[in-house]
Structures are given as structure tokens and as C-alpha cells.
Amino acid sequence: MTTAPETVNGSPQPTGVNGATLSGGPEGRPTLVEVHQATAVLGGRTIWSQVDATVAAGEFVAILGPNGVGKSTLLKAILGLVPLAAGGVRLLGQVPGHANHEVGYLPQRRSFDASLRVRGVDVIRLGLDGDRWGLPVRGARSRAATARVGELVELVGATRYAHRPIGQLSGGEQQRLLIAQALARRPKLLMLDEPLDSLDLPNQAAVAALIGRIARAENVAVMIVAHDVNPILTYLDRVIYLGQGGAVSGTPAEVITSDTLTRLYGTPIEVLSTSDGRLVVVGQPEAPARHTDRHGGVA
Ligand SMILES: Nc1ncnc2c1ncn2[C@@H]1O[C@H](COP(=O)(O)OP(=O)(O)OP(=O)(O)O)[C@@H](O)[C@H]1O
């Protein structure tokens, strides 16, 4: 596996992973996520190695790269759901798994069965007290939870359909409710794994704008896994681009260039800019191994 070829933003990597102190992020903002020289091995195969990445409070960061390159694995490693084979991760200054209550995590999408009767508001509420499933919540705590759910319904613009069964809602409506669920406990960091997947283009743009607006309104940092950077391009502070077992990170203008991606992949890649400002990456190879997707098929 290749070493991460460079860190494009040029800032020195934080040293807190193996120590107690967290470095500050841009403009002195605290660092929420530190990944230092990390390697993930799954099923005996190295997925990526020597990956460095940081996310500061309030930053909007995309994780990009082709199918099977390990984007979801990176989120899971930060959450402690996938152990690292080497290197280190700190989430809010703690070892993986110890600060997950500060994170709103939306895993890769699974569709709801059309016959599912659970309402949108119930799905949001699970984000608040899902860990108390079956235990009654009464009094002031229950009233506070109901108020928070109402706030979230408004925040994501779901007033019209939040009381309908989620199985009957469109993909875009379901996604807005799931984002509301992830926000329920006022996390410091939202981790969204392909939230735009399977949405049509207008809905991709609308959900991307919603995430960008929420990130500012709730002062929450965002790590978003995406296949296409274009719907989120205007909201991004930085990108982490995975490929060939390593990663580069920096601003979109630094990373999504022919030169940088050619160095990352070790093969000619061309980044074209269309007249309406969209970026098109040409020649990006797929990840080396065949990839079993979440539906159990092979992509
Ligand atoms: N538990 C596992 N055991 C073995 N291999 C795994 C496991 N989980 C994932 N993989 C493999 O690791 C690789 C990276 O998977 P991951 O889901 O992180 O990629 P991704 O970049 O998010 O892909 P996509 O864009 O298709 O969702 C894939 O080849 C996948 O098949």
C-alpha cells in the first residue's frame, strides 16, 4: 500500500493522537477528529494506510473517492466500529468509542419498507431516547423531548409530512427526517455516509443546502461521504480524498486537481471544470478489489 502522498494543505499534522493534548484547528478552533498515520485492514486486506486527517469544530469536510476505497471504513474507524491495524484516532480528544454520544451518525442508507407504520416524528425521537427503548419517559423530560422533536421538524422543513408513516415518504423526505434524528442530541459532529445517495438531482441540491445551512445554524461540524462532490462543493471547507490506499486532504481547490489526483492514484487523471462550475473527474480507477455493497451485491 502506498503512503499518503502528501497533505496538501501543508499544515503540520497534529501530534495529539499519541498524547493527551489536542492541537487547535483553523482559526484556533478546537480539533474534533484526529486521524494519525492510520491503517485499516478488513478481511486480511489493507483498505488504506498511513492516513492523516483532522476535522476542526464547525468545519464541513467531504470524504471522496471511488466505490470500495474505504470511505465508510474511515467513518467507522473514527467511531471505533472498525479497529485500526496501525496508527491512531482521537475523537474529541478520546480514544474511539468514548465520545460517540457527541456525534450524530447517519450510516449508509437503507430504504424503509413501504408498509412501515412508524411516523417521521417517532424516527426523530429515537435519536433522543432510542437507547431507552420501551422505558417510559415522563414529565419535564418528555416535554423537552417533544419540544426538541418539533424544533427539528421545522429545522429540516418536514412539517408537512413528519406525522405520516415513514415508509410512505419519498427518499428525500426520509433523508431529511434521518438528518433530524442524527441532530437530536445537539452533536458537535455530524457524520453522514452518502446522504445524497439515491436522491434525484434537485433533491441532492436541496438536501446538500439543508446540511450546509444546519451546519452553520447549529454550529456543528460535518463529515460527509459523497460520490459526487458537486452538490456539496459550495459548502465545503476541506476534502479528504481516498485512493490507492492513501489519502490527500486540503481545500477542494487544492485537492480536486489533475496534478494532485494523478499523484494520489499514480495514473493520469483529469479534472475538468464545466461552464456552470461543476467538476468532472476523468480516469479515476475503481478500488482494487471487487466491492460487496450494502445490498449484498457486487458493484
Ligand atoms: N467487514 C468487512 N470484512 C471484509 N471486507 C470489508 C468489510 N467491510 C467492508 N469491507 C471491504 O472494504 C472495502 C471498503 O469498504 P467501504 O464500504 O469502506 O468503501 P466505500 O468507499 O465506502 O464504498 P462505497 O462508495 O461503495 O460505499 C470494500 O472493498 C469492502 O468490500
- Cβ atoms of 153 and 183 within 8 Å: the answer is no
Answer yes or no: is the C-beta of 291 below 6 A from any ligand 1 atom.
yes
User: Each residue's pLDDT tens digit in the chain (299 positions)?
Assistant: 333 433 333 333 333 332 222 345 566 789 999 999 999 999 999 999 999 999 999 999 999 988 889 999 999 999 999 999 999 999 999 999 999 999 999 998 777 888 888 999 999 999 887 665 555 566 777 788 899 999 999 989 999 999 999 999 998 899 999 999 999 999 999 999 999 987 888 888 999 999 999 888 888 999 999 988 888 998 999 999 998 778 999 998 888 888 888 888 888 888 888 888 888 888 777 665 434 444 333 32
Cα–ligand 1 centroid distance for 122 (angstroms)? 31
The residues, ordered by sequence, that sit 6+ positions from 72 with a Cβ below 8 Å of its Cβ are 107, 108, 193, 225
Q: Is 71 in the pocket of ligand 1 (CB under 6 A)?
A: yes
Instruction: Give the strands of the sheet with 31-42, arranged side by side.
Output: 45-56, 31-42, 86-91
- Cα of 90 to ligand 1 centre, how many Å? 22
Q: Is 155 in the pocket of ligand 1 (CB under 6 A)?
A: no
Residue 203 near residue 171 (C-beta atoms within 8 A):
yes
- At residue 32, φ and ψ (nearest 5 deg) are -95, -40
Determine if ligand 1 sits within 6 Å of the CB of residue 68.
yes
Q: Which helix (H) or strand (E) holds 240?
A: strand 238-243
Side chain identity, residue 8 = V
* Nearest Cα residue to 94 out of 49, 183, 31, 37: 31
Structural domains of the chain ordered from first start:
16-282 (3.40.50.300)
- So what's the pLDDT on residue 292? 40
pLDDT at 198 (0 to 100)? 78
Mutate which of 39, 42, 227, 244 for ligand 1 pocket (most atoms within 8 A of beta carbon):
42
- Which pLDDT score, from 0 to 100, does residue 48 have? 93
